[in-house]
């Protein structure tokens, strides 16, 4: 009896692992097919622009509002600690570095996965469930070139722009709390920031991170939609998986990228 | 058959070792309307996907215009598909495009026609299905029957030589059903095309089909003209055509003996 249960446990574990590896392979294959089918999304850039609107512009509100609050909280928390050491003027640097290096790319990617990623998965999943992708195939039009690739590039374009806007608005939020509210000197706030935020090490690395997150989040959302069982239940499960997988991927990738950046 | 445009030869197909089709032979002559009938889950739609090259046969082959479909590379399959139009069960209209853009889609993808000509052609196709006036609507604003007609206009956008219909009558009211019946026949004759219809609606199909294949248990159980089949003495065909609830296809799903099950308290 125990042996039987153990056997079942192992076979379940094995099946789960095989399934995960299979999905990773299928995702990699879709990524490759998307890259080689990308010509269409550049030749007819209108398709990609349209998707930039849906993934990027429509995510603006949630990204900007979140950024504003994140910046304000950072300033409050930062001031609380810094003032103990008498260096409350360094608050500008703290807010800027935290946002540009980490919070900008990471929180944007997490919000993007929740807002745009789920929308992409649901849309592609529904297109599959209602046979729209099949219909396209039967019309001798590749759904990967026509549907997947433009959305992929739109995500990759939108993410760094959103992350940059997130950092900008976050810094503005931090400024509003630190300077007019708490009374930190405005000159010190900006000049310390200017002196200590490095263009290459801080800003470009942050942008690079957001590009990588853009690729990961968009590809995960597209794959989940493309791979979803063509039923209402299948699509809803895929949408959930998009958020979970994207979030974990973003946080994991962030650690790997940061360790490389700091080591270099 | 000499003028066969689609030919299915000794075709077997299955998933994961379970065969859905076991050696099917069918011929679709040019200019004819041929129906494939059978119960739900008998693999009728799969046959259309095999003809369209979306699936590969386990054994045997499908020929379209003399070319073996599964031996083609991607380009070859796409070339063959340009000769085909397919009407999906629920239309499969692109929900983000208007009715006009849906019908224009194949033209925009495969031709370099000027916008004015695309406009004329789209309106022509929409007029053929009686929906020229609905060109500006979005798919969500259409009834089931209208969506099916728009999808039909899209399927014939590039004047295909083969039109495939997957359950064209499913979920339609009697008026829409009559309209679709009429359109299938008239468009087939006007375009000089060949129509392949997968359906289980006996009465409607028998009104206009030239030839009918019955698929059951993975094989062609019967074939003939609608009149032949209406008078058929084959038990399966008789049950299907007359919609009898019991016969070769049993009412009860396979189960242990009823009395014994009750006494044992078994499930």
Each residue's pLDDT tens digit, A10-59: 999 999 999 999 999 999 999 999 999 998 778 888 889 999 999 999 99
Nearest partner of A76 among A189, A211, A176, A201, judged by Cα: A176
Q: Which of A131, A140, A141 sits opposite B92 (nearest CB)?
A: A131
Which residues in chain B are contacts of A126 at CB distance < 8 A?
A: 95
Q: What does the domain layout of chain B look like in residue ranges?
A: 4-96+160-232
Name beta bridge partners: B223.
Answer: B213
Query: pLDDT tens for residues A215-264?
Result: 999 999 999 999 999 999 999 999 999 999 999 999 999 999 999 998 86
Q: Which residues of A touch B79 (CB under 8 A)?
A: 140
| Three-state SS at A48 | helix
User: Cβ atoms within 10 A of the Cβ of A114, count?
Assistant: 17
- pLDDT tens for B223-235 read 889 888 888 878 7
pLDDT at residue B21 greater than cutoff 90: no
Distances (CA, A) of B94 to A22, A128, B264: 30, 11, 54
Q: Are B169 and B138 in contact (CB under 8 A)?
A: no
- Confirm or reject contact between B25 and chain A (CB < 8 A): no
- Shortest distance, CA A4 to any CA of chain B (angstroms): 24
Q: What architecture does CATH give domain B4-96+160-232?
A: 3-Layer(aba) Sandwich (3.40)
Question: The pTM is what?
Answer: 0.87
Please give, rounded to a whole number of angstroms, the shortest distance from the CA of A259 to a CA of chain B.
43
Residues 6+ apart with CB under 8 A from A227: A23, A26, A27, A30, A238
Average pLDDT over residues B103-115: 92
Query: CA triplet A244, A248, A28: central angle to 5 degrees?
Result: 90
pLDDT (average), residues B97-104 = 94
Q: Which helix (H) or strand (E) holds A30?
A: helix A2-36
State the average pLDDT for chain B. Answer: 87
User: In this structure, what token pair is assigned to residue B54?
Assistant: 């979306």
Name the closest residue on chain A to residue B76, using Cα atoms.
A140
Q: Which three-class secondary structure state does DSSP give residue A231?
A: coil
Q: Are A173 and A69 in contact (CB under 8 A)?
A: yes
Give how far B80 is from chain A: nearest CA, Å: 8
Residue indicated by tokens 């695309």: B118
CB A66 within 8 A of CB A166: yes
pLDDT of residue A163: 96
- Total beta-carbon pairs less than 8 A apart between chain A and chain B: 48
Strands B219-224 and B84-87: unpaired
Yes or no, beta carbons of A134 and B90 under 8 Å apart: no
Testing the interface with B: which of A33, A46, A140, A147 to mutate, by most B Cβ within 10 A? A140
Give the chain B residue nearest A131 (alpha carbons). B92
pLDDT at position B267 over 60: no
In chain A, the percentage of residues whose pLDDT exceeds 90 is 88
- Give pLDDT, residue B264: 78
Q: Which residues of B touch A141 (CB under 8 A)?
A: 105-106, 109-110
- Looking at per-residue confidence, does A94 or B237 come out higher? A94
Closest to A140 (Cβ–Cβ): which among B89, B95, B110? B110
Q: Which residue of A has its CA nearest to B50?
A: A138
Interval B112-136 mean pLDDT: 92
User: What is the average per-residue pLDDT within A103-128?
Assistant: 96
Which of B195, B204, B246, B243 lies closest to B226, judged by CA? B204
Helices (H), chain B: 44-51, 74-81, 99-110, 115-128, 144-155, 174-191, 202-208, 226-230, 235-242, 258-264
- pLDDT value of residue B126: 93
Q: What is the mean pLDDT of chain A?
A: 93
- Helix, strand counts (H, E) of chain A: 13, 0
Q: Give residue ranges of A with CB < 8 Å to any B CB.
A: 126-127, 130-132, 134-141, 146
Q: Which of A86, A90, A100 is nearest to A191 (CA)?
A: A90
Read off the pLDDT of each residue in B142-159 and give the average, rounded to a whole number.
90
Q: Is B222 helix (H, G, I), strand (E, B) or coil?
A: strand
The ipTM assigned to this model is: 0.83
User: Is the CB of residue B185 less than 8 Å away from at least one CB of chain A?
Assistant: no
Which residue from A142, A151, A224, A206 is spatially nearest to B75, judged by alpha carbons? A142
pLDDT band at B14 (very low <50, low <70, confident <90, very high): confident
Q: What percent of chain B has pLDDT over 90?
A: 30
Q: Please report which confidence band the pLDDT of residue B265 belongs to, taking 50, 70 and 90 as the band edges.
A: low
Q: What pLDDT is stored for residue A264 in this prediction?
A: 67
Q: Per-residue pLDDT tens for B33-57?
A: 999 988 887 888 889 999 999 899 9
Between chains, do A131 and B88 touch, taking CB under 8 Å as contact?
yes
The share of chain A scoring above pLDDT 70, in percent, equals 100
pLDDT, average across residues A187-213: 92
B193 SS3 class: coil
Which of the residue ranges A248-262, B138-152, B215-229 would you say has the lowest mean pLDDT? B215-229
Is B196 in CB contact (< 8 Å) with chain A? no
Residue of A nearest to B49 (CA): A138
> Residue B15: enclosing H or E segment and its boundaries?
strand B4-15
Q: How far apart are CA B44 and CA B28, in angstroms?
A: 15
B88 touches chain A (CB under 8 A): yes
- The residue among A199 and A239 whose pLDDT is bigger is A239
Please compute, for residue A139, the number of CA atoms within 13 A of its CA located in the half-sphere on the CB side: 33
pLDDT at B247 over 80: no
Residue of A nearest to B164 (CA): A138
């Amino acid at each position: 009896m125990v042996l039987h249960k153990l056997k079942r446990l192992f076979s379940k574990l094995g099946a789960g692992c095989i399934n995960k590896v299979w999905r990773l392979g299928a995702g990699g294959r879709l990524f490759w097919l998307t890259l080689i089918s990308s010509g269409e999304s550049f030749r007819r850039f209108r398709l990609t622009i349209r998707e930039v609107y849906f993934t990027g512009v429509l995510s603006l509100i949630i990204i900007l509002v979140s950024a504003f609050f994140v910046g304000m909280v950072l300033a409050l928390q930062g001031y609380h600690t810094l003032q103990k050491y008498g260096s409350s003027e360094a608050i500008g640097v703290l807010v800027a570095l935290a946002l540009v290096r980490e919070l900008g790319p990471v929180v944007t990617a997490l919000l993007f996965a929740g807002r745009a990623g789920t929308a992409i998965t649901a849309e592609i999943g529904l297109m599959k469930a209602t046979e729209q992708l099949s219909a396209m195939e039967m019309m001798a039009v590749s759904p990967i070139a026509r549907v997947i690739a433009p959305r992929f590039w739109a995500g990759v374009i939108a993410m760094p722009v959103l992350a940059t806007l997130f950092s900008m608005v976050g810094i503005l939020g931090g400024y509003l709390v630190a300077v007019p509210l708490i009374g930190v000197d405005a000159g010190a706030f900006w000049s310390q920031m200017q002196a200590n935020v490095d263009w290459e090490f801080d800003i470009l690395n942050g942008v690079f991170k957001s590009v990588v997150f853009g690729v990961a989040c968009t590809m995960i959302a597209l794959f989940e939609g493309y791979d979803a069982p063509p039923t209402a239940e299948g699509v809803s499960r895929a949408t959930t998986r998009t958020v979970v997988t994207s979030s974990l991927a973003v946080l994991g990738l962030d650690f790997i990228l940061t360790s490389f950046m700091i080591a270099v | 058959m000499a003028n066969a445009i689609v030919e299915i030869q000794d075709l077997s197909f299955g998933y994961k070792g379970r065969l859905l089709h076991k050696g099917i032979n069918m011929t679709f002559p040019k200019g004819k309307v041929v129906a494939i009938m059978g119960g739900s889950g008998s693999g009728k739609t799969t046959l259309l996907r095999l003809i369209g090259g979306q699936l590969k046969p386990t054994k045997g082959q499908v020929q379209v215009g003399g070319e073996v479909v599964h031996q083609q590379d991607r380009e070859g399959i796409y070339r063959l598909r340009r000769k085909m139009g397919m009407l999906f069960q629920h239309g499969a209209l692109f929900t983000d495009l208007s009715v006009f853009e849906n019908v224009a889609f194949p033209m925009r993808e495969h031709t370099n026609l000027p916008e004015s000509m695309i406009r004329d052609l789209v309106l022509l196709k929409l007029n053929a299905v009686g929906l020229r006036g609905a060109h500006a609507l979005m798919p969500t604003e259409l009834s089931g029957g209208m969506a099916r007609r728009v999808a039909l206009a899209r399927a014939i956008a590039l004047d295909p030589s083969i039109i495939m219909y997957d359950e064209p009558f499913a979920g339609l009211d009697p008026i829409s059903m009559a309209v679709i019946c009429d359109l299938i026949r008239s468009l087939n004759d006007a375009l000089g095309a060949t129509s392949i219809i997968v359906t289980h609606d006996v009465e409607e199909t028998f009104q206009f089909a030239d030839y009918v294949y019955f698929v059951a248990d993975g094989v062609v159980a019967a074939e003939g003209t609608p009149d032949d089949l209406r008078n058929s003495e084959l038990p399966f065909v008789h049950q299907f055509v007359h919609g009898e609830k019991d016969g070769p296809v049993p009412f009860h799903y396979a189960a242990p003996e009823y009395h014994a099950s009750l006494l044992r308290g078994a499930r």
